[in-house]
Amino acid sequence: MVWGARVWYLSSKRRRSNRGMMMAPDGNSDGVSRCCCKGIRRCLICERFKEKPQSIMTSQPEIVLHFLYNPETRLAGCKDGEGASFPFPGVFLWENFISEEEEKELIGSMDQDVWNLSQSGRRKQDYGPKVNFKKRKVRVADFNGLPALSQKLVLRMQQEPNLEGFMPVEQCNLDYHPQRGSAIDPHLDDSWLWGERLVTINMLSDTVLTMCLEQGLPERELTGEVHVAVRLPRRCLVVLYGEARHRWKHAIHREDILERRVCSTYRELSAEFLPAGQQAELGDELLNIAFTFKGTPV
């Protein structure tokens, strides 16, 4: 089934529909102390206490063109199949990448560790080096590898031609929940340290990954902001590469989190940290640590 390209005039009603104060899933109703939002970031826990800046209220685009990605045709197309559509390269979807039993084991293991508060209503667990992207510095000291349960998953990934040679050195687990208004704003992942492929396993619920292009697609005569919805079934794996990795921002919108969702994102090194790169020695050290698979969250 293919969605349609429609011009959506974003209403203030939709933007306000999920607001309100609710008890956090961990039972703590203290909205201020359980919120980690900074700057323009907001979640349901803090919106009752923080006035939304005018710059955010006026920054919504008036017109957004909406498309839906079809993984079979690899087209972003119209709902009725009769309107405009265009090729959307750089997305690979692997449904049922993990089994129900594996999902239960992975979530059970994660929930035994501490979930740290993150922005926009998320919680996180990091397995990887500490990085200062502005100063381009990497600190290895506290990194002790990827978690043990990821070893079999990485081996499975490497059997797929699209992930041939995939050697992740970082894993980030993110926990989303509708009671916190969890979301992640449109963004591009760093490309100085992180390489070509971004790999994510989606767990506990279906959701939608929204790909965003603010300047439109002049080559397709599409003006205004363009959104392409990529449906992520529960227990699937999704890979972003090429244009979807470097040209299109990606986001998870609050309205697409209907129940608890946990994801694990794996990142590989850029060419600068691989053999023949300027920081190949550091890259080799990171890989050796990552592939001990003895990691704990840092």
pLDDT the model gives residue 47: 82
Higher pLDDT, 40 or 256: 256
Q: Which of 14, 7, 1, 80 is nearest to 227 (CA)?
A: 7
Please report the sign of the dihedral spanned by the C-alpha atoms of residue 158, residue 160, residue 166, residue 172.
negative
Contact 239, 197 (CB under 8 A): yes
177-220 pLDDT, tens per residue?
Answer: 999 999 999 999 999 999 999 999 999 999 999 999 988 888 88
Is pLDDT above 70 for 152?
yes
pLDDT the model gives residue 45: 80
pLDDT the model gives residue 40: 80
Is pLDDT above 50 for 12?
no
pLDDT the model gives residue 41: 83
Mean pLDDT along residues 11-34: 37
Mean pLDDT along residues 63-90: 86
216-228 pLDDT, tens per residue?
Answer: 888 888 888 999 9
Domains parsed from the chain with CATH numbers: 6-290 (2.60.120.590)
pLDDT the model gives residue 219: 82
Longest Cα–Cα distance of the chain, Å, equals 56
pLDDT the model gives residue 68: 95
106-139 pLDDT, tens per residue?
Answer: 999 999 999 999 999 999 999 999 999 999 999 9
Is pLDDT above 60 for 148?
yes
pLDDT the model gives residue 130: 96
217-266 pLDDT, tens per residue?
Answer: 888 888 889 999 999 999 999 999 999 999 999 999 999 999 999 999 99
Mean pLDDT along residues 66-78: 92
